[in-house]
Structure 1
């Protein structure tokens, strides 16, 4: 029994590390250890469930409880997501477009992505991404969107874990994402996959079967592209992959839901 309790404490500690590192949700004082960030990746999709859940609650409050226009509720849900994560993945998304849009060599791409200043490519990419999300939030049924938000945020966080497992870290020097040099083990991958898939049970299974291959395609194409350009991934690449997946989920759901 004592071993079971100790194991549960260890897993809860990993969850708190994931929640603190990948969101701005307060977790209180924890004994932070960078070595735990790699096994903590197993709870990255669970962080997504929480973030998506918060956005879903906000959307439901505005659209279903207060009966405000769905466009207003969509903006509120977007704001909730940004506040919950501190725009962590959106920042990587913008840096990705700045780096790969303005750089022609590996060194220059990495240099641009490390620059804290936002460039034209990144700004325009963010504007288009938010416009696309907003449009899709308005087009999806208000009764289904809360579940879609949770599922999109959980599943979109799985393939970045696969990227860490199957590719190489591109930078030589230390950075905020330096812990990703260590590969997650099989148990971490399996737990993350299960947690990512849990919200899918609340959605139409035909839609889910159509969406999952899209995630696989994004993973394969992006992995080949970044390995060709810079030899591997960075934290910004992982953030961009999460955003690509999330947007693809909304887009695919909105498109396929019309036919099933």
Structure 2
């Protein structure tokens, strides 16, 4: 049990800026096995976002509360996945071949594709959450708590199904480049889909269809362009599927 707790804290420390106990050891091998708990990290981040929203909306208008709650989650994660999305937009938008795409994504500077892509992603997520707030405060909190774990499961599924394409041993995602075992994948799937129980049936169906569709399309596109995934592409998948979950809930509302 202690080993499993250490793996969870390893994942939490890698994907967030939240403090973890000093007694938790770190090694690339532990991070490799910690992939089973990536969706559980989404519980923490989604919970922070939901709690922040519920507190802030008592003081500010919904639009301001949404933006501030997004800022809280971005601070908690150190913009880890947002950075991956921006790098992926730059690389896939500006690169012509595999080598060029990988070189652009490795560059710490953000380009025009990354800037535009990041702005559109954040604005669309904010707009979707503001629309959700028109019903009641709980709708936004629920959406946040559902989307963060499920989107991290989507990224984890790419680790399991695709090949890691960077040869640079210093790459951040290199320790993750191992397919999960069946028990590990089952654990990740359980934590990723369990929050869906908070939604209505039609919302669950819409969110699952949207998340699977975006993940499948992303996987095919990454394989076609690069032959597999990088850490930035995992972050981009998390961002895309998180947004897809919000939009799916809104779409389900329009048909009820």
Contact 2:35–2:176 under 8 Å retained in 1: no
Matching residue within 38, 41, 50 for 1:44: 38
- Are 1:38 and 1:183, in contact at CA under 8 Å, matched by a contact in 2? no
Match of 2:14 in 1: 21
- Counterpart in 1 of 2:151? 156
Q: Could you say what secondary structure the match of 2:138 adopts? A: coil
1:256 corresponds to 2:248: no
Q: Distance in 2 between matches of 1:51 and 1:220?
A: 24
Aligned equivalents of 1:224 and 1:246: distance in 2? 19
In the other structure, the counterpart of 1:232 is 228
Structure 2: unaligned runs, 5 residues or longer:
none
Aligned partners of 1:92 and 1:238 also within 8 Å:
yes
The CA distance in 2 between the partners of 1:210 and 1:56, in whole Å, is 21
Match of 2:237 among 231, 237, 241: 241
Q: Are the counterparts in 2 of residues 48 and 153 from structure 1 also a CA contact under 8 Å?
A: yes
Runs of 4+ in 1 over 3 A off after TM superposition: none
State the match for 1:95 in structure 2: 87
- Where do 5+ consecutive residues of structure 1 fail to align? 1-7
2:189: which partner in 1? 193
TM-score (norm 1): 0.94
Alignment of structure 1 residues 134-153 onto 2, 5 Å: 134-140=126-132, 141=135, 142-153=137-148
Q: Are 1:128 and 2:120 matched, yes or no?
A: yes
**Shift of the alpha carbon at 1:181?**
2.1
Which is further off, 225-234 or 175-184?
175-184
| 3-state secondary structure, aligned to 1:143 | helix
How far residue 21 of structure 1 moved from its aligned partner, in angstroms, is 0.5
Contact 1:42/1:192 (8 A) holds in 2: yes
SS of the equivalent of 1:56 reads helix
Q: 1:210 corresponds to which residue?
A: 206
| Alpha-carbon offset, residue 257 of structure 1 | 1.6
Match of 2:64 in 1: 72
1:39 and 1:185 in contact (8 A); partners too: no
1:9: which partner in 2?
2
Provide the residue aligned with 2:26 in structure 1: 32
Residues 133-175 of structure 1: CA deviation (Å, up to 9, x unaligned)? 1111110032211011010001001121111111101111211
Partner Cα separation in structure 1 for residue 64 and residue 27 of structure 2: 40
Shift of 1:185: 0.9
Maintained 8 Å contact 1:152/1:249: yes
Q: Residue by residue, what CA displacement relative to the aligned partner does 1:203-238 show, whole Å, maximum 9, x if unpaired?
A: 112211122122111122111111111111000000
Q: TM-score, normalised by structure 2?
A: 0.95
Report how far residue 252 of structure 1 moved: 1.1
